[in-house]
Chains A and B, each alone.
Chain A
Amino acid sequence: GAVVSQHPSRVICKSGTSVKIECRSLDFQATTMFWYRQFPKQSLMLMATSNEGSKATYEQGVEKDKFLINHASLTLSTLTVTSAHPEDSSFYICSALIWGTSGGGTDTQYFGPGTRLTVL
């Protein structure tokens, strides 16, 4: 099946620094990837849609200058949390989209294992 990896799995950084998280589709190409954020004991909230070769589309309330997304290849999207603060501490999960077939298959997202960010 389709596999998505994330790196790093955990990161601890000081307030004010920037952190980059990578999302890779290992055995397929993905023109579209998604970034989600999950606070403890809460659900996943979609942050942005990452499109290969074009600008990301951010959900309402998500600061694009704070969360920089780059989807430079068909297998890699990166999320950079700039000038991180303790309130940015969260679990960040990416997914990669495989489009359904023309025969009526379903568009399916495959999720990475997540990255836990802790900002001190």
Chain B
Amino acid sequence: SQQGEEDPQALSIQEGENATMNCSYKTSINNLQWYRQNSGRGLVHLILIRSNEREKHSGRLRVTLDTSKKSSSLLITASRAADTASYFCATDAGTYKYIFGTGTRLKVLA
């Protein structure tokens, strides 16, 4: 399977803490994207990082990309209860098809 892997599979933290989740993938990529999915709902696009970028910020989100290790991380700072969701990375190898990671289920406790 070409599917990427994410860890941890599940993460439970207190409100105000930072949450870090990691994504590893198998092939060379053009870009990598992170998505959020609330339970039983569609995907919300969070951030895109291109293969020639190493770090990107958007509000409370920080994404890093290490193409030599074929891995990316998503950091959510000062988490809120509303951040409770599943988070997926998706890689684009230039074929315009996305390969999704296995996902991290984040629970932020109020």
Contact = CB atoms under 8 A, between A and B. Distances in A.
A106 B105 contact: no
On chain B, which size bracket covers the interface? 20 to 34
A32 B88 contact: no
Interface in A49-77: 49
Given A43-B88, A43-B100, A46-B97, A106 B3 contact: no
Interface in A7-54: 32, 34, 36, 41-46, 49
Interface string B77-105: 00000000000100010001111111101
B43 A106 contact: no
B98 to A, nearest CB: 6
Nearest to B101: A43
B42 A44 contact: no
B48 A106 contact: yes
Nearest to A1: B45
A111 B90 CA distance: 13
A107 B88 CA distance: 18
Nearest to A115: B42
A18 to B, nearest CB: 24
Contacts of A32: 96
Contacts of B100: 36, 43-45
A48 to B, nearest CB: 10
Given A44-B88, A46-B97, A106 B40 contact: no
Contacts of A109: 96, 98
A113 B92 contact: no
The 8 closest A-B pairs by CB, nearest first: A113-B42, A111-B43, A44-B100, A43-B100, A107-B96, A114-B42, A43-B102, A43-B103
Interface of A: 32, 34, 36, 41-46, 49, 91, 93, 95, 97, 106-114, 116
9 contacts: A34-B98, A41-B105, A42-B103, A43-B100, A49-B97, A106-B48, A107-B92, A109-B98, A114-B42
